[in-house]
Amino acid sequence: MTTTEIPGYVTGKWAVDTAHSDVAYTVKHLGLAKSRGNFTGFTGTVVTEPNILDSSVTVEISAASVTSVTPTCAPATSSTSTSTRPSRSARPASARTTATTSSTAS
């Protein structure tokens, strides 16, 4: 069996520094908007073994510590809208841009 030494590789056990770490998530809601959040309560350990394949990372996350940021969107008919441009469907057909493709048979 051939072994390869990794320069700077040190075996040992370390605790995750929660003051300088973050457990965060991003999910897409209905394919339109992203909801982001994080967990404030977590602990973890990293164990490196002489055989790197035996190394491990263990993390425990408290589900009760979840915080999320829900994006807010104003409805399209809101009176606070500042857009004066008509919607695409409201513009005359001559003002719409369309893409056309053509192919030739050989």
Provide DSSP, 27-84.
Answer: EEETTTEEEEEEES-EEEEEEE-SSGGG-EEEEEE-GGGEEEE------TT-TT----
Say what the pTM is: 0.55
Average pLDDT over residues 22-38: 88
Residue 93 clears pLDDT 80, i.e. is over it: no
Strand order in the sheet with 23-29: 23-29, 33-39, 66-69
Query: pLDDT tier at 33 (50, 70, 90 boundaries)?
Result: confident
How many residues does the structure list for the chain? 106
Query: pLDDT tier at 69 (50, 70, 90 boundaries)?
Result: confident
* pLDDT value, residue 76: 57
Tell me which H or E stretch contains 24.
strand 23-29
